[in-house]
A = this chain, B = another copy of it.
Amino acid sequence: MIIDSNAPIGVFDSGIGGLTVAREIMRNLPSEKIVYFGDTARLPYGSKSKDTIIRYSRQIVRFLQSRGVKAIVVACNTASALALDTLEKEIDIPIIGVVKPGARVAAQATESKRVGVIATEATIRSGLYTKLIQEIDPEISVIGKPCPLFVPLVEEGWRKDPITEMIARRYLEVLQEQDIDTLILGCTHYPLLRKLIGDIMGDKVRLVNPAYETSMVLKNLLADQHMENQGGIKEEFPYRFYVSDAAEKFKEFANSILPYDVERTKQINLEEYQEL
């Protein structure tokens, strides 16, 4: 098949968290256009089952393909952990997730061979971070800890709050006892708590944000396959945002974390994009 290198990159997440990945792509691949989809009508994914996450992700992939994207970034740890394997067999454009890039960097970074992962329940339960890290180095121990309250705390606006600090201390205690030297922020909301998590874990623990690593993997992939956008960006709106629930709330949050004013956000009824 012939891929139009001028086409946009599709990026999707269960909601707003994936904007932290879109932000890294904007920074590190400034010539690329983006079509972002946030499944705000059905979020969160982190507490749901594998079958449901695969079904939802398929619909989104189908929607992104209808927008002519040349490659897809699954900017959601839960969907990367549970649906990527299935999706990559079903489509003929490149698709990458955030878990593999994060796992690789963590495996390279650790010296104590003890890596921690904080993520949603579904991501931890999948065991994918552990599997991928141990494929690189079977001697690395991986300690996973689900932190289900982090997302609602961020969405409540309590990023800098003593209660959030207490909850973070409780969640992270088990990782502090395990002498890890590397900690993966395995949910796209967690980089928004980076400072707090860093303060609790201390200077000796390196925090890995898979968002940056993922943008680098995408950059190499586009170069290898000669898919980079050579023409540069000429459009007035190179970044387009779609959501499955009301666009207003999304826009507000997007504007608070993107170095860019999110003007045009459109609501889509995903149920019209049934399975492939």
Binary CB contact string for chain A from 91 to 125 against chain B (1 if under 8 A, 0 otherwise): 00000000000000000000000000000000000
CA of A149 to CA of B55, assembled, Å? 28
Q: When the two chains form the complex, which single residue of B49, B52, B149 contacts A153, counting CB atoms closer than 8 Å?
A: B149
CA of A40 to CA of B47, assembled, Å? 9
Q: When the two chains form the complex, which single residue of B51, B52, B148, B166 contacts A163, counting CB atoms closer than 8 Å?
A: B166
A236-257 residues with Cβ-Cβ distance < 8 A to B are 244-246, 249
Q: Does A136 contact B (CB under 8 A)?
A: no
- Supposing A41-B42, A42-B41, A163-B163 touch, asked if A155 and B52 sit within 8 A by C-beta, the answer is no
Contacts of A47 in B (CB 8 A): 155
Q: Does A27 contact B (CB under 8 A)?
A: no
Contacts of A274 in B (CB 8 A): 271
Contacts of A246 in B (CB 8 A): 48-49, 51-52
Contacts of A245 in B (CB 8 A): 48-49, 52
A43-80 residues with Cβ-Cβ distance < 8 A to B are 47-49, 51-52, 55
- Supposing A42-B42, A246-B52 touch, asked if A152 and B148 sit within 8 A by C-beta, the answer is yes
Q: Does A235 contact B (CB under 8 A)?
A: no
Q: Which residues of A contact B (CB under 8 A)?
A: 40-42, 47-49, 51-52, 55, 148-149, 152-153, 155-156, 163, 166-167, 170, 244-246, 249, 269, 271, 274
Q: Which 5 A-B pairs have the closest CB atoms?
A: A49-B246, A152-B152, A41-B52, A52-B245, A42-B42
* 11 contacting pairs across A/B (C-beta < 8 A): A40-B48, A41-B49, A47-B155, A49-B245, A52-B245, A148-B155, A148-B156, A149-B152, A149-B153, A152-B152, A163-B163
